[in-house]
Amino acid sequence: MESVTVHPTMPSNKDNNLHIAMFPWLAFGHMIPYLELAKLIAGKGHQISFISTPRNIDRLPALPPKLSTLITFVKLPLPENPNLPEGAEATSDLPEDQVAHLKIAYDSFKEPITQFLKSSNPDWLLYDFAPYWLPEITRNLGIPTAFFSIFLAACAVFLGSTSSEVPSDDRKLPDDYTVSPKWVPFPATVAFRLFEVLRLYKRITGDEANVSDIYRFMETARGCDVIAVRSCAEFEPEWLNLLGVVHGKPVVPVGLLSTTANNEENDTWWSIKDWLDRQSKNRVVYVAFGTEAMPSQEEVTEIALGLEKSGLPFFWVLRTKHGKDAVKLPEGFEERNEGRAVVCRSWVPQLKILAHDSLGVFLSHSGWSSVVEALTFGRPLVLLPMSNDQGLNARYFGEKKVGYELPRDEQDGLFTSEAVAESLRMVIEKEEGRVYREKAKELKALFGDRKRQNMYVDKFLEYLTTHKGCR
């Protein structure tokens, strides 16, 4: 990867080619969609400056050679924070209760970002939800900005409004977040469950050391010139329209940004493929919870026993904590399920697995990137949200019949192995699961249509070109 550690001065654009800087939050679930959009934009001849920390940039997927001169990786060292372990530069490097320290370190980027923007003078800056202090900097420099939200428009609307024309947000108690907000004028189930709110409440309210995530989101939305959303009008039209209303801003969907497959064939993939080839068509349960969501010991036990009780073949990507906090599978579990199951504790080529004919259902944490990948191949979902926006996603996917949310206790989030087994069997083989199987096939035509999704990027670039230098 081409990268720089100094502040490069980009050549000024005298034609319609843009220089766009991108500054995602330090989570791979954010950086990867930003990189996918960067690749699509660079593929049309525009220059990208992709800003992150050295270690994060070194861990990003390699660029296609033809884009290496168009995407420059700008490495800004993460300011030191005594509460962060050495080498921790992304949320995946930390337990969830330490991510607040990463946000504090991220807020120390003010000065280096200002210097970079001054020296490079991009035509546009695309930033994420976290740098609530950035709009004032760009306003002083005269650089137009797009808040590029990697969240569903439905989630963004739920978080709040910055328009004086919309009812103010008077949510003060956890229960207030378990119902649809009063600024949503149509029937909707998009809201948190009580156990989800309680898990996130410190991040919703903030504390003396850190502003809340909702405050960050609202201020970045308030200060931008346009809101770009990883979505498309065919999937959530009413929410995209409402997002523009609640913020009084233009909203431009950029498409679904399905991850580009890595075509490398290695020994890991061939051994996985060999096992998948031996399974019946549309029968395998694929289980993965992204790079950050880590189920607790109790949850791992119920998932494991539920997979066993389902009688279905399964491939489980099990990412767990290390050391004294490591979770364990039930005794004898892997031996009992040898042959009909694979438990993998390392990285796997998820797109290749989802594309395989043996796949029947994806047991997922409801992360938007994972759902986009599943629907690109027409795979139905069983949803087990764990953190962040995943609960809101799961409600919307349930409304759309994209996925079936695994039943659990509203108060504490507990679920049983029987619920796991029954949910998987229902979606894969029962009549009442037909609606999920058929909806996934229907949406494959939308999510897998790269030409149609590429048109959204064209329209976004048309907007950026038209409004270049308008601030």
- Between CA 232 and CA 152 the distance in angstroms is 10
First to last CA, the chain: 33
Tokens 């607040």 appear where?
Answer: 100
Q: What is the pLDDT of residues 88-124, one digit of tens each?
A: 999 989 888 889 999 999 999 999 999 999 999 999 9
Mean pLDDT of 195-223: 90
For residues 305 and 335, the answer to whether their CB atoms sit within 8 Å is: no
Give the angle subtended at the CA of 393 by the CAs of 255 and 300, to the nearest 5°: 125
For residues 60 and 35, the answer to whether their CB atoms sit within 8 Å is: yes
Give the angle subtended at the CA of 158 by the CAs of 157 and 162, to the nearest 5°: 55
pLDDT of residue 169: 85
pLDDT of residue 275: 93
Mean pLDDT of 56-76: 95
Q: What is the pLDDT of residues 418-451, one digit of tens each?
A: 999 999 999 999 999 999 999 999 999 999 999 9
Mean pLDDT of 258-279: 81
Reduced 3-state DSSP string for 57-74: HHHCCCCCHHHCCCEEEE
- Between CA 229 and CA 379 the distance in angstroms is 23
- pLDDT exceeds cutoff 60 at 334: yes
- Between CA 151 and CA 258 the distance in angstroms is 14
Who wins on pLDDT, 347 or 132? 132
From 121, 111, 112, 119, select the one nearest 142 (Cα to Cα). 121
Mean pLDDT of 344-353: 89
pLDDT of residue 269: 86
pLDDT of residue 268: 83
Mean pLDDT of 345-367: 93
The domains located in the chain, with CATH, are: 3-258+449-466 (3.40.50.2000), 267-447 (3.40.50.2000)
Give the containing element (helix H, strand E) for 101. Answer: helix 99-107
Angle between helices 368-376 and 390-399 (to 10 degrees): 40
Mean pLDDT of 389-410: 95
Q: How much is the pTM?
A: 0.92
